[in-house]
Amino acid sequence: MKIDPGLKQVTLPASVETRPAQSQGNKRADAEQTQVTLSSRAAELKQLETRLAAIPVVDRARVDSIKEAIASGQYTIKPENIADGLIDSVKEMLHVAK
């Protein structure tokens, strides 16, 4: 298992604008309408975000099968695999930190 070094910063494409919010005092009741149009890239990112949100973070079936194997004594722990994984994770973190 690898340790995630953290979230990577995402930059928005140049075609996306940011506008300051209007204050509540300037609001006119139904006198003004605002239309917002997103770029095709922003719409694509929104669709991908929705699809990613639907993917479960934890594979519950896999967790349950491992718990069952541990409880029944059938799960074998190989310390050398754990050590190798930890060493690989540290090497990767050190490489990213450079």
17 within a domain of the structure (yes/no): no
Tell me the residue range of the domain where 75 lies: 36-97
Cα separation, 31 vs 11, in Å, equals: 35
76 within a domain of the structure (yes/no): yes
93 within a domain of the structure (yes/no): yes
11 within a domain of the structure (yes/no): no
Tell me how many domains the chain contains: 1
14 within a domain of the structure (yes/no): no
Amino acid at 38: L
Give this prediction's pTM: 0.35
69 versus 98: the higher-pLDDT residue is 69
Cα separation, 2 vs 85, in Å, equals: 7
49 within a domain of the structure (yes/no): yes
7 within a domain of the structure (yes/no): no
12 within a domain of the structure (yes/no): no
Write down the pLDDT at residue 24: 57
pLDDT digits (tens, 9 = 90+) for 10-29: 665 655 455 555 555 555 55
